[in-house]
A = this chain, B = another copy of it.
Amino acid sequence: MTDRLPHTLRSDARDNRERILDAARAVFAAEGLTVPMREIARRAGVGPATLYRRYPTKEMLVTEAFTDQMRACQSIVDEGLADPDPWHGFCLVIEKICELHARDRGFTAAFMSTFPHAMDFAAIRAYSLTSVAELARRAKDAGRLRPDFVLDDLILMLMANSGIHASSPAARVAASRRFAALTLQAFHTSPASSPLPPAPRLVPGVSTHRRNPTGETDG
């Protein structure tokens, strides 16, 4: 067997890989993405070299560590989309995603593309966003979501949600929950609603804008 390609990891290597991923997930959730690589290695009980061998860059590690979170995020959106009441589905999506982000400091940053380019799950992100756009369209048609809502508003609220800090994870989740509720109040149609300032352009690819009434330069 001279030409066996290392498509399969040795048992100890596979074991270490798991431990690294577990440690990374735990510490990313608690501290965010800024933790030193060595700290993750330490918690995983491996040397730095082992960590770097498996994941030469932090971006790779992050991508791998958050793939399932990303999938969870997508299935939340799918659930919302499956809801017979689009506004109800929309609310669920907002609430659950906010909670997801509140529980995991790192995931927020990863989702927001703290790593600006080439995040592997950019595709999933884009797919989720278009799904939400569809859900939003339906909720608008049902007359429950304000007509001037655009997808960038969602990004905006997600960014805003990521700004919420608190002493404990529990407190952060509680704050985020209230924030989500307030956000939904803002998105809800209401006789008292007044026109909004122009929407920011935050997500270049997708768009719910059919038309852009203002000629404003956007950044």
CA distance A168 to B201 in the complex (A): 12
Q: Are A183 and B186 in contact (CB under 8 A)?
A: yes
Across the two chains, which residue of chain B brings its CB closest to A182?
B186
Given contacts A174-B218, A188-B192, A192-B190, contact A163 B166 (CB under 8 A): no
Task: Please indicate the chain B residues that have their CB under 8 angstroms from the CB of A181 in the complex.
Answer: 194, 196-197
Give the number of copies in the complex: 2
Let me know if A160 is at the binding interface, CB within 8 A. yes
Chain A contact patch, size range: 35 or more
Given contacts A170-B219, A186-B185, A190-B191, contact A178 B197 (CB under 8 A): yes
A35 to chain B, nearest CB (A): 16
Let me know if A122 is at the binding interface, CB within 8 A. no
Q: Are A178 and B164 in contact (CB under 8 A)?
A: no
**A138-165 interface (Cβ within 8 A of B):** 153, 156-157, 159-165
Across the two chains, which residue of chain B brings its CB closest to A189?
B192
Task: Please indicate the chain B residues that have their CB under 8 angstroms from the CB of A171 in the complex.
Answer: 200-201, 218-219
Let me know if A11 is at the binding interface, CB within 8 A. no
Task: Pick from A159, A182, A196, A198 the residue with the most CB of B within 10 Å.
Answer: A182
Let me know if A96 is at the binding interface, CB within 8 A. no
A192 to chain B, nearest CB (A): 5
A2 to chain B, nearest CB (A): 52
A43 to chain B, nearest CB (A): 25
CA distance A219 to B173 in the complex (A): 10
A219 to chain B, nearest CB (A): 3
CA distance A216 to B193 in the complex (A): 32
Task: Please indicate the chain B residues that have their CB under 8 angstroms from the CB of A186 in the complex.
Answer: 182-183, 185-186
Let me know if A175 is at the binding interface, CB within 8 A. yes
Across the two chains, which residue of chain B brings its CB closest to A201?
B171
A127 to chain B, nearest CB (A): 23
CA distance A157 to B174 in the complex (A): 14
CA distance A141 to B156 in the complex (A): 31
Given A156-B175, A163-B163, A178-B197, 5 more contacts at CB 8 Å?
A159-B164, A171-B201, A181-B196, A188-B192, A191-B191
